Each structure stands twice: as C-alpha cells, then as structure tokens.
Amino acid sequence: AIVDIEQLLAWSLVKISSHEQLTFDEKSGRILAVNQKKIGAILLEEKADKSLINQEKIFELWQAQLHKNGLSLLNWQQEDKNLLLRWQWLNSRLSDMKLPDVSEQSLIDNASLWLKPFVSNITTKAQLVKLNVSEMLLSMLDYQQQQQLNKCAPSFYLGPTGRKCAIRYSLEQAPIVSLPMQEVYGLQASPTVGDRNSKVNLTFELLSPAKRPIQVTADLAGFWQGSYKAVQKDMKSQYPKHFWPDDPANAQPTNKTKRHMKAK
C-alpha cells in the first residue's frame, strides 16, 4: 500500500535511523563510504561521505580482503616472488638468523607489520596493485638483516666471465643456477650460498653453446674428474668450434669460440 513517510513520522508510527557504512565494492574495486537513512531494513537515502574514511578503517578493509583472497590480492612481480623464495629458503636453512616468518599464512596474519604502513591512503584496487611488494616485505627487516639476506641468499651468481645469472630458490631442492659450461672452466669447486656455519653448494645446470642443458651437478670438482670426459667427447663432435679442454678445472673460462679466443 502507498504510504506517506512524513505522515507516518508525524504520527510516530515509524522511526528513521542513521547508519555509517564503509565497504569494499568488488564490482568497482573501490572503498565506498556512505551515510544511510533507514526505516528498519528499508533504505530511504544514501549519500557518499568521505569523512568516514580513516587510515585504520582503510587497513581493516584491505586486511579483510587479504584474508579472503590471500596474497594474490597484491600484484606480485617475478622479482617479488624471487625475494619471497630466497627469504623462505633462508629461514628453512638458517633459523638462527631469526628473520620474520614469511609463509603465506604468517604474512596474512601479520599484515599490520608490512601492509598497513603502505595502504593508509589506498582506496582503490587500481592503487593497491601499483604498490611495490618487495619494498613492503623488506620494511620488516632492519639494515643489518637486509644485508644478511643479500649475502647469504643472493639473487644472482656472478660467473667467472662476468655474467650475472639468476639463482632459483626452492624449499624442495638446493638453489640452482643455469649458465654455459664453458663459462665455469677454472672453477675447481662448486660455489656456495648460506653462511660459514651452514654452507650449501649451488647446483649448476650447465648448458651447451645452444643453451641446452647437458649436465646438472652440485659437485663441480667431482664432475670435472668424472663424467666430464663423456660430455667432452659428445660436445666436441657437436660443437667442434668451441673449446673443450682436457683439464677444465684449470682452463680459462670463456664465452667465445676457439677462433675468437686465439684472436684475443
């Protein structure tokens, strides 16, 4: 039935209540702040009110979204994923360093430590995905801890020829790096990561001149003295223009063919 709200109010038959509401709207990807006037569950009026938005409430909304969606709420770049794996690997190997736990559940539960300082004025998903995840994570570490992380779990291996090779970390296996076999001639032992009390050999995925894997080893000295001879024979037949020394442990590392090595 049609009713006159003003008449019902005048007769005191109904009462208007005011509500402040701050929500994250999935469709628009925005935090919405509104003042509502209702009679019971009936919405009479709704007006936007930005004055309701404050830093604490913003964080609480993003924290709720983090619990709902997990870490995928943020825009993870490959460098962010690599940092997380390095950190997690280091925690699994060197717990005495006492770096913060960065498992997914721990990050979600402790979002106030790393997310809160960066979202105080973030009110849209478009703004959120522009945040630098690595910067947020590293904010949990002091300068000394960041230095320890970079020293014990470096992001790359600098090869004998000057090539920077990304180190791939995993909780299931030792860190691994891929580079041409000819560029590690002269190395008599596998390089290590970790600290002096807990060293771990880097696993080398050694590549042919065509960048195809030909050997995987965490014991370079053992490889030179063992199965290298068979690899050498095969490589000489496939790539005769390249350098395949009889004593690779004491040979010169190179990224050139034999002709260019002589020209030098």
Mean pLDDT of 150-161: 95
Say which residue, 264 or 133, is predicted with more confidence: 133
Predicted TM-score (pTM) of this structure: 0.83
Q: What is the mean pLDDT of the chain?
A: 91
- Asked whether the predicted pLDDT for residue 72 surpasses 80, the reply is yes
* Residue 125 pLDDT level (bands cut at 50, 70, 90): very high
The pLDDT, as a whole number, for residue 264 is: 52
Examine the pLDDT at 174 and tell me if it is beyond 60. Answer: yes
Determine the pLDDT at residue 11: 74
For residue 144, is pLDDT > 90?
Answer: yes
Q: What is the 3-state secondary structure (H, E, C) of the chain?
A: CCCCHHHHHHCCCCCCEEEEEEEEECCCCEEEEEEEEEECCEEEEEEECHHHCCHHHHHHHHHHHHHHHHHHHCCCCHHHHHHHHHHHHHHHHCHHHCCCCCCHHHHHHCHHHHCHHHCCCCCEHHHHCCCCHHHHHHCCCCHHHHHHHHHHCCCEEECCCCCEEEEECCCCCCCEEEEEHHHHCCCCCCCEEEECCEEEECEEEEECCCCCEEEEECCHHHHHHCCHHHHHHHHHHHCCCCCCCCCHHHCCCCCCCHHHHHHC
